[in-house]
Amino acid sequence: MRFGILGPLEVWEGGERLSLGGPQQRTLLAVLLLNANSVVSADRLIDELWGQGAPPSARGLLKGCVAMLRRALGVGRDERLLTRSPGYLLQVGPGECDLDRVEELAGAATTRSASEADQAAALLREALSYWRGPALDGLEAEVCRAEAARLDELRLALLEERIAVELRMGRFAELVTELQPLVRKHPLRERMWAQLMLALHGCDRRADALAVYQRVRRSLVSELGVEPSAGLRQAHRLVLVGADPAPERKPVRRAVPAQLPSAVRGFTGREAELAELGRLLTASESPGTDIAVVSGTAGVGKTALVLRWSHLVRERFPDGQLYADLGGHGPDEPVRPGATLAAFLGALGLGEREIPRDPAERAARFRTEVAGRRILIVLDNAASAGQIRPLLPGASSCAVLVTSRDSMAGLVALHGARRLGLGRLPRSDAVTLLRVLIGDRADADPRSTAALAELCARLPLALRVVSELAAAHPDGTLAELVDVLGAPQDRLELLEAGDYPHASVRTGLSWSYRRLPPEAARVFRLAGRQAGAELDVRTTAAIAGLSVREARRALDVLARANLVDAVAPGRYVMHGLLRDYAVCQAGDEPYHAAATLGLLPTAAHRPPTGYRPPGLTVVPVSTGENGD
């Protein structure tokens, strides 16, 4: 959602503006927005809505207003508008309110040096563009009127700051045209009068500038009985002595992070995917951040693709490139967003004491630091959309690349991310990669090379591991290696590069499998027995003993985790290595059944083959007519 208070109160969801109802509901929403993410007591809300004339039934009427506002927002009580003693709380995410974006942009403008004045001016212009009219226009509650006055003062202060920046840039003629009606509309804002004098002086109109000073001084003395302010007198002195009206500030060097890991050696193919990434991150017409999600199964080459593209286009991001491995699928817990933000802020030049302790404040400071800067942010190996959301910049100048085994539906739905589903390599590219990695032996035996590509399911990780196997046995033939990899159990055992878990096909698949809920994990194990046959909802329901609805849900979970491939609407297959892994898990089905029944702590970690819990016998049970 997007909340707008810098003008008439508005709420947008996607591209649709929501109908908020009558004045009481709009006032209620405004008060909750002005206190976003904090509890507002029912007593205070009643006072703001009805004042001294609150009827005896005010509490009941307030509950009705809250219920109607929830319906207007299209959310449930546990999503946005929460009941929290002694009142209510409205949850607003970072950057969802237009005022939040204005404050971020204004903060970013203050960090720009003299050499970046054009960026500072652009940031301030973007901030001012969020005003659609008088703030909270049409709302008469006292708190709304007070806030509207404060926001109007903020707008004028930002306008004066933007004019000051453009004075330093020497845009005198344009500013004279802009300032002349402004000083008539705001005759008591002395800074605007001083800026008009300096702009006239910059246009070689010193006499006009001095006449402006005399006019405003007479007005202040006669109407208010005060002399001009120090700033106005300083402008007068600058004009009198003919000083430069646009003195420069000392430039400040800013940190330019370059955190991209090296690209993968021997990268092959993926020309269409590289071109698609470029299109996804340049085709947006909306003012938000461009976000692309590369999703795919374990070992398919998501990170390699993203790093390849990032190195090719790094010149487009002169303000730096940030990179973080979020640990979404690995031996440890996923990295918390607060830790990633602290690392990013450090890379952007902040000292340890400057980095806020609170994760929400870190996220806001991060958005401030990157606003107006051309930075590429690569978030590798993400677990969920929730892990990504705090790391998103608010600026349209940045681009974000995410890799994940999850489809990141939440990121697509709520933040407009564009998804690139990365499939296995085409047969020709898989063979080419083996030829690059193995060399002459692959060229000398094209039949075995093609067979190796298929035994590796055309997954880049498996292809690289098998090329290392070939290199470790230079006297053996590729045909012998094909024979060795023929058995599913042997294949998974052999496709490991030493003791490095990230180079093990089995370990990589296990990190995806252990995140599955029990029902989906059971469907995955049983599906491995289907020997390459396609799966659909009814087949899955039959082999797993589930209802059609349960089977569809399980298949959806597996598809989102990229543990099955969709070949047609509602039809799925597993590639060979996934099927091998599923078959190995299915060998311990009694253990998993016990864990599902709660008799064991978890089914996430596979026990040794053939393991049976002591004293436990698992037998099939037929469901009776009564469902008992």
What percentage of the chain exceeds 70 in pLDDT?
Answer: 85
Cα separation, 625 vs 604, whole angstroms: 33
DSSP state of 77: T
Phi-psi region of 310 (alpha: psi -120 to 50; beta: other; left: phi over 0): alpha
Residue 146: Cβ within 10 Å count: 12
Phi-psi region of 21 (alpha: psi -120 to 50; beta: other; left: phi over 0): left
pLDDT of residue 586: 61
pLDDT of residue 624: 44
CA 434 to chain centre: 36
Residue 172: Cβ within 10 Å count: 20
Look at residues 467, 461, 462 and name the one whose alpha carbon lies nearest to residue 435. Answer: 467
Residue ranges in the chain whose pLDDT is less than 50: 77, 249-252, 283-286, 590-616, 618, 621-628
Cα separation, 291 vs 295, whole angstroms: 13
Contact predicate 308/267, CB 8 Å: yes
> If DSSP codes are grouped into helix, strand and coil, which group holds residue 358?
coil
Helix, strand, coil shares of the chain, percent, nearest 5, are: 55, 10, 35
- The mean of the pLDDT values for the chain is 82
Q: Which residues of 26-53 are buried (b: 16+ CB within 10 A; e: fewer)?
A: bbbbbbbbbbbeebbebeebbbbbbeee
Cα separation, 208 vs 594, whole angstroms: 90
Look at residues 90, 86, 96 and name the one whose alpha carbon lies nearest to residue 78. Answer: 90
First to last CA, the chain: 46
CA 432 to chain centre: 35
pLDDT of residue 128: 93
The residue with tokens 């002591």 is 614
Task: Note the residue count of the chain.
Answer: 628
**Residues ≥6 apart with Cβ < 8 Å to 527:** 535, 540, 543, 558, 564, 574, 579, 582
Cα separation, 120 vs 252, whole angstroms: 13
Contacts by residues 314-318 (CB-CB < 8 Å, ≥ 24 positions apart): 314/260, 314/376, 316/374, 316/376, 317/374, 317/375, 317/376, 317/399, 318/256, 318/374
Strands 87-90 and 40-41: antiparallel
User: Which pLDDT tens digit goes with each residue over 329-365?
Assistant: 877 788 999 999 999 999 998 888 888 888 888 888 8
Handedness of CA 558, 605, 422, 486 (dihedral sign): negative
Model pTM above 0.75? no
Handedness of CA 171, 174, 176, 182 (dihedral sign): negative
> If DSSP codes are grouped into helix, strand and coil, which group holds residue 489?
helix
pLDDT of residue 402: 94
85 strand-pairing partners: none
pLDDT of residue 473: 78
DSSP state of 267: -
**Residues ≥6 apart with Cβ < 8 Å to 611:** 588, 591
DSSP 197-258: HHHHHHTT-HHHHHHHHHHHHHHHHHHH--PPPHHHHHHHHHHHHT--SSPPPPP------B
Look at residues 141, 151, 19 and name the one whose alpha carbon lies nearest to residue 97. Answer: 151
Is the bond preceding residue 251 a cis peptide, omega within 30 degrees? no
Q: Calculate the CA dihedral of residues 277, 278, 281, 282 and round it to 10 degrees.
A: -150
Cα separation, 542 vs 440, whole angstroms: 49
